[in-house]
């Protein structure tokens, strides 16, 4: 369990990286190993917590392992919390990296006189649509991102209709209408980018929660996963995990 606790600082950094809109692809790449390590160690602790104790000392009279069962139950609880934290950060990474790929297009022209060029563009947009449909279908279910997934699905549905409308306007040579469709697609993307930014802020607050009272009357509240102590046998090693799971707070 000490190893699991030691992973929490890296996990906090991974959470900050995923939820910060200013981070680039290189920064985001660092999230994967930190999250995978937390999940692996939580899984190991969970396996230890579910290993039967009695069978290992069946030759001893009485129940020599009775005193260890509360510790084992505690380990199982802590492991579940660690796996949940890793999953939420992992979901944040998936949404953060997937949404920018939706409705990706080549440079969209305002006019094309060559039918062969229109056909080539049509194939590129059809491929983009297929990729977008697959990406949305692969988005993991997570309450923090329900609104993003719903909006992404609606945007891709409109994108399918948009492709037909845009290509028709191109073939008709209506430059003004074409420009209008290009602006519409830009707006769809911008709205989706804003939605994922908002959802990532929800994720950040869901894992590391603080309510700050600026009046300064000592009514501020906070809660963090795990606990207030890094000592494995301390009563405060995981004393806040249950409070965090219930979405409750304690005074600062």
Strands 209-211 and 221-223 come out as antiparallel
The model's pLDDT over 198-231, given as tens digits with 9 standing for 90+, comes to 888 777 665 556 666 666 666 776 666 666 555 5
What percentage of residues in the chain have a pLDDT greater than 90? 37
CB burial class (10 A; 0-12, 13-18, 19+) of residue 97?
A: middle
pLDDT recorded at residue 50: 73
Residue matched to tokens 């869901």: 206
The model's pLDDT over 149-169, given as tens digits with 9 standing for 90+, comes to 999 999 999 999 999 999 999
Q: Considering the chain, what is the average pLDDT of its residues?
A: 79
Q: What mean pLDDT comes out for the span 179-199?
A: 94
C-beta separation of 155 from 98 below 8 A: no
Q: Is the pLDDT of residue 27 over 80?
A: yes
How far does the chain reach from its first CA to its final CA, in angstroms? 26
C-beta separation of 209 from 249 below 8 A: yes
E-only strand ranges, the chain:
209-211, 221-223, 250-251
CA-to-CA distance for 19 and 202, rounded, in angstroms?
A: 9
Q: Is the pLDDT of residue 134 over 70?
A: yes
């Amino acid at each position: 369990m000490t190893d699991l606790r030691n992973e929490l600082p890296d996990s906090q950094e991974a959470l900050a990286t995923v939820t910060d809109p200013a981070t680039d692809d290189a920064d985001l790449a660092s999230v994967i190993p930190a999250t995978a390590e937390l999940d692996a160690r939580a899984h190991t602790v969970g396996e230890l917590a579910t290993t039967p104790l009695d069978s290992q000392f069946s030759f001893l009279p009485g129940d020599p392992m009775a005193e260890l069962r509360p510790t084992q139950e505690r380990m199982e609880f802590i492991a579940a919390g660690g796996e949940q934290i890793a999953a939420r950060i992992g979901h944040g990474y998936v949404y953060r990296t997937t949404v920018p790929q939706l409705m990706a297009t080549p440079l969209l022209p305002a006019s094309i006189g060559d039918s062969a060029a229109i056909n080539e563009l049509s194939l590129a947009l059809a491929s983009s649509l297929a990729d977008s449909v697959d990406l949305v279908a692969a988005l993991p279910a997570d309450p923090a991102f329900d609104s993003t997934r719903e909006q992404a699905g609606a945007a891709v549905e409109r994108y399918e209709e948009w492709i037909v409308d845009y290509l028709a306007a191109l073939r008709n040579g209506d430059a003004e209408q074409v420009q209008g469709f290009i602006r519409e697609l830009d707006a769809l993307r911008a709205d989706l980018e804003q939605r994922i930014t908002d959802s990532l802020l929800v994720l950040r607050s869901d894992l590391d929660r603080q309510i700050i009272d600026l009046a300064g009357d000592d009514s501020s509240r906070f809660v963090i996963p795990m606990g207030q102590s890094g000592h494995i046998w301390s009563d405060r090693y995981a004393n806040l995990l249950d409070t965090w799971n219930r979405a409750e707070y304690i005074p600062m």
